[in-house]
Amino acid sequence: MAFYEEQVAALALLLAGEKCPLEREDFVGTWLECYDVIVKAGNFAEAKRRLEETVEDQWRLWEIWNALPENRPPFLSLAELAADLPPIEFLWTGWVPLGLLSLLGADPGVGKSLFALDLARRIILGDVFPDGKPIEDERRRCIYVDAENTPQLLNERADAWRMPKDGLFLMLPEEDEMMCYLDREEEQVRLLEMCRGLDPALVVVDSLGAASSRGENAVEEVREILGFLNKVAADFNTAVVLIHHLSKRNDPFALVRLRDFRGSGHIGAMARSVIGISVVQTSEEATDEAKRLDVVKTNLGLKPKAIGLEISAGGDGAVRLAYGEPPIPYRAATKVEQCAEWIVEVLEEAGGPIKVREVVEMARDEGFPRATVFRARKHLGEKILNTEGRRSPNNQWMLPEQEGKG
């Protein structure tokens, strides 16, 4: 099977009476139907008439008409194109562009779907984005392609958040299907019809793995899905957020990077904005409560500042999302830092100055060698005062508030 664009270009050449670079077996779906119609018709006018009568999806025909030799755009320089190029617009400034594809990834269970649904909730309500920026797009409808087929879960979360359900439109698998496979023509047509009728501000696809009938490692299928979603975003000037899983990682607390995304590298390459949700260890005890949102990759400008995210259960048991400053990662204290903390505690308990040699002797009993004690003293800086010269045998250490108590 040839790629999507190759099939369109080949059909346009065949329709124009030129040599077709592909064989019949290279075409699939509607493109195969178009191939057979053109071959049997024998001439351009008859082929065009038969295509318009037999092919239901006019969008597919427009693709062929636009690829005809006489309809191909002339070779233009950037100077000639610039006046007609639209500016880059954002639904959420710095994070989610309009007219382009965004990718959202995290480890399993971290909260990708929760975050995407909360984003939709904010748009429907006309609330602010997680970083406090206002929602300026006046469109209040969102489409959620529930490829994993969990509408009950979405409904429970919408109820818990008192989210207006009439602004969220679900695309669910057909009755005889388990998933919404966006590499199939009939599913693509369904999503296009929803976008035409609803004019959404946001389209969420949850998830790429569930939306691909052959998985995210099949380059041809992934390329077709991503190409289709890019076209949806561009044609309807909407934001498309594609949820995707990460590969298994050795360190669950490492920040998400582009290389962590599962499957073909083509996935991250085609997205203009890639957002990662990382779990941050903030204490000695490892928990997954504190999270961090980052733009992992962007082609659209400087990366915005990271955002902290906490997901917790309220008194009613419902999941709640709270945003704020990025969490500070936990770092175990070094031996020098432990010694410095011990020195301060010793001086506080003493209530006054202590001779340096006595501190060194006590430190030895605590497992801190002499060199560590003096490195700790240097680390403390002005938090510790000397009663005499640093090299004096009678020098004592004291806290600033103990000065004059010797």
Confidence at 138, pLDDT banded by 50, 70, 90: very high
Return the percentage of the chain with pLDDT > 90, whole number: 67
Please tell me the predicted confidence (pLDDT) of residue 290: 93
Q: Which residues contact 154 (CB under 8 A, 6 or more apart)?
A: 117, 144, 146, 168, 170
Please tell me the predicted confidence (pLDDT) of residue 67: 85
- pLDDT at 66 exceeding the cut of 90: no
- pLDDT at 1 exceeding the cut of 60: no
Q: Which residue intervals of 250-334 are DSSP H helices?
A: 266-270
Q: List pLDDT tens digits, range 326-343.
A: 999 998 899 999 999 999
Mean pLDDT of 368-386: 95
Please tell me the predicted confidence (pLDDT) of residue 218: 63
Altogether, the residues listed in the chain come to a count of: 406
Please tell me the predicted confidence (pLDDT) of residue 2: 59
Bridge-based pairing state of the strands 202-206 and 239-245: parallel
Q: List every span in the chain annotated with CATH 1.10.10.
A: 335-402
Mean pLDDT of 109-124: 97
Q: List pLDDT tens digits, range 388-400.
A: 988 898 999 999 9
Please tell me the predicted confidence (pLDDT) of residue 59: 78
Mean pLDDT of 285-312: 93
Query: Quick check: 239 and 89 in contact, CB under 8 A?
Result: no
The residue with greater pLDDT, 27 or 294, is 294
Q: Which residue intervals of 68-207 are DSSP H helices?
A: 78-82, 112-125, 151-160, 185-198
CATH topology for the 90-324 domain: Rossmann fold (3.40.50)
The residue with greater pLDDT, 288 or 181, is 181
Pick the CATH number of 335-402 from 1.20.950, 3.30.70, 1.10.155, 1.10.10: 1.10.10
Please tell me the predicted confidence (pLDDT) of residue 177: 79
Q: Which residues contact 176 (CB under 8 A, 6 or more apart)?
A: none
Please tell me the predicted confidence (pLDDT) of residue 404: 74
Among 343, 58, 10, which Cα is nearest to 196's? 58
Tell me the average pLDDT of the chain.
91
Measured CA angle at 325 (ends 319, 326), to 5 deg: 85
- pLDDT at 378 exceeding the cut of 90: yes
Residue 136 in tokens: 């300026």
Half-sphere exposure (Cβ direction) of 21: Cα atoms closer than 13 Å? 10
Mean pLDDT of 239-246: 96
Please tell me the predicted confidence (pLDDT) of residue 217: 63
- pLDDT at 94 exceeding the cut of 90: yes
Q: List every span in the chain annotated with CATH 3.40.50.300.
A: 90-324
Mean pLDDT of 363-368: 94
Please tell me the predicted confidence (pLDDT) of residue 73: 66
Give helix 44-54 / helix 4-15 axis angle, nearest 10°.
Answer: 130
Residue 46 in tokens: 């008859």
Mean pLDDT of 84-98: 93
Query: Quick check: 69 and 16 in contact, CB under 8 A?
Result: yes
Q: Which stretches of 88-141 are assigned E, i.e. beta strand? A: 90-92, 96-97, 101-106
Mean pLDDT of 106-129: 96
Please tell me the predicted confidence (pLDDT) of residue 155: 95
Mean pLDDT of 152-162: 94
